[in-house]
Structure 1
Amino acid sequence: MISMFSDLLEMSGEQPDPQRLLFLFAAADPTNKSAKREDKKGTIEPTMVVDKLPSEVPSFEALIKEADSINKKWDFVFIASLSGQNKQPPSSEDAEPFLDQMTDDVMTGKNIRRYVVFDRKENPIELLAS
């Protein structure tokens, strides 16, 4: 499990072909507010998506600042990477169907284990579908 956003940025730069990072920001709606932290249950709703080249994201703090300037109603960021071809990174248009798939995955709870997830404080999060 990736434990730091900087690890993810570093790994994206080590891939044979350039990468495009896909971000889905989501808000949590806990259903058992009194449960212990490690046993929280609830729903997650996507609030916004964006794709960026790794060079466009200097740090987690910069990502948070930009996201908050658009919409502060989010608790988690789901991250995936899309690989380019022939030494060319994928375009934003190439990323669009994958961002749609991320949105569907988060809304249905399917395949969410394939994403790296951080909370606002850069803590890695493991989410389980119920």
Structure 2
Amino acid sequence: MITQFKDLLSYAKEQPDPQRLLFLFAKTELANPNKSKKNAKGTITPTMCVDKLPSEIANYAALIKEADSISKEWDFVFISSLSGIKGQPPSTEDADPYLNKMTNDVTSGQNIARYVVFDRQDNPIELLPN
């Protein structure tokens, strides 16, 4: 089970075919901010996407620092991966349609269970559709 980003990064590096990691950063808006965070309801809005090879990421802190240098308007990061073929990692162009799908999934609240989600503090987040 993936409980920290370092676990995900390790698993990605151990796969038989090279992986490209897909990241969608999103901000949250709570419908009722006074409710318990455990049962909070609200909306999630994508703010930016990026794809990277696992070798391009030192650790979660480095990923956060890079993301914040572009925009600090995010609360969660949704992560998926794309497998390469015959020892070749997928290209950024290969990742584009999958990043678009992630954006659509998060915006519509559909199929979000397929993504690993972390908050800014490297805590795994479980999101449920309304």
TM bucket, shorter chain: over 0.9
Matches of 2:121 and 2:13 in 1, distance apart?
A: 23
For the pair 1:105 / 2:97, whether they are aligned, the reply is no
Distance 1:92 1:126 in 2: 28
Q: 1:77 and 1:57 mapped to 2: Cα distance? A: 15
Gaps of 5+ in 1: none
Runs of 4+ in 1 over 3 A off after TM superposition: none
Question: Normalization by structure 2: what TM-score?
Answer: 0.99
**Matched residues, number:** 130
TM-score under structure 1 length normalisation? 0.99
Aligned residue type for 2:113 = R
Q: Which residue of 1 aligns with 2:125?
A: 125
RMSD value, Cα = 0.5
Which amino acid letter does the alignment assign opposite residue 41 of structure 1?
A: K
- SS of 1:16's equivalent? coil
Q: Any residues of structure 2 matched to 1:76-95 within 5 Å, and which?
A: 76-95=76-95
Partner Cα distance (2:129, 2:37) in 1: 16
Q: Distance in 2 between matches of 1:98 and 1:60?
A: 22
